[in-house]
């Protein structure tokens, strides 16, 4: 069973690419996601940081040159559970986040400044804007 989820956070380190004997490769990176909520007095209750390991699909991999430590990203992933038997014969499982799409949250929006005005008309909403930022 697979589930699609979307989350945002800060990239925790430079992406790492592993190449396998058959010539295929996979690139992974981690994302730090702040956890918490606003209580009934509108005060933020911090619940720490959750680290999510992300593996890139070929479609998302073309964005990797822009992924660096500290960059704020919006990630759309296919979440799936993997099962296996370990060396001691115990049944094990883990979650896998396979990035289908990757977007970037620019510094202006992070600092509370208004987003740049969008062009009127029938442009492609998924195309890059004039600043080179990718829409998500």
The pLDDT profile of the chain, 136 residues, written as one tens digit per residue, is: 678 999 999 999 999 998 889 988 889 999 999 999 999 999 999 999 999 999 998 778 888 899 999 999 999 999 988 888 999 999 988 888 999 999 998 865 545 545 444 444 455 545 544 455 544 4
Residue 16: closest CA among 69, 92, 95, 85: 69
Q: What is the largest CA-CA distance in the chain?
A: 62
> Residue 114 falls within a domain, yes or no?
no
For position 100, which CATH number holds? Answer: 2.40.50.140
Number of structural domains the chain divides into: 1
The dihedrals phi and psi of 45, each to the nearest 5 degrees, come to -110, 110
CB atoms within 10 A of CB 53: 13
Q: What is the pLDDT of residue 119?
A: 47
Domain that holds residue 84: 2-36+45-108
pLDDT of residue 81: 85
**In the chain, which residue ranges form alpha helices assigned H by DSSP?**
58-61, 107-110
| pLDDT at position 126 | 52
Amino acid 108: pLDDT:
59
With respect to residue 117, please indicate whether it lies within any of the assigned structural domains: no
Report the C-alpha gap between 45 and 37 in whole angstroms: 5
- 101/17 Cα distance (integer angstroms): 18
Rounded to two decimals, what is the model's pTM? 0.68
d(CA 74, CA 66): 13
Whose CA is closest to 101, among 58, 53, 70? Answer: 58
> Which residues are CB-neighbours of 15 under 8 A, at least 6 positions away?
27, 28, 29, 56, 64, 67
With respect to residue 81, please indicate whether it lies within any of the assigned structural domains: yes
């Amino acid at each position: 069973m697979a589930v699609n989820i979307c989350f945002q956070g800060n990239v925790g380190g430079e992406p790492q690419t592993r190449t396998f004997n058959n010539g295929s490769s996979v690139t992974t990176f981690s994302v730090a996601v702040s956890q918490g909520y606003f209580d009934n007095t509108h005060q933020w209750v911090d619940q720490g940081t959750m680290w999510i390991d992300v593996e890139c699909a070929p479609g998302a991999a073309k964005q990797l040159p822009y992924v660096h430590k500290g960059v704020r990203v919006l990630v759309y992933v296919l979440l799936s559970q993997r099962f296996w038997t370990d060396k001691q014969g115990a049944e094990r499982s883990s979650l896998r986040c396979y990035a289908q799409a990757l977007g970037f949250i620019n510094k202006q929006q992070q600092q509370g400044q208004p987003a740049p005005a969008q062009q009127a008309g029938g442009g492609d909403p998924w195309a890059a804007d004039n600043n080179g930022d990718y829409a998500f």
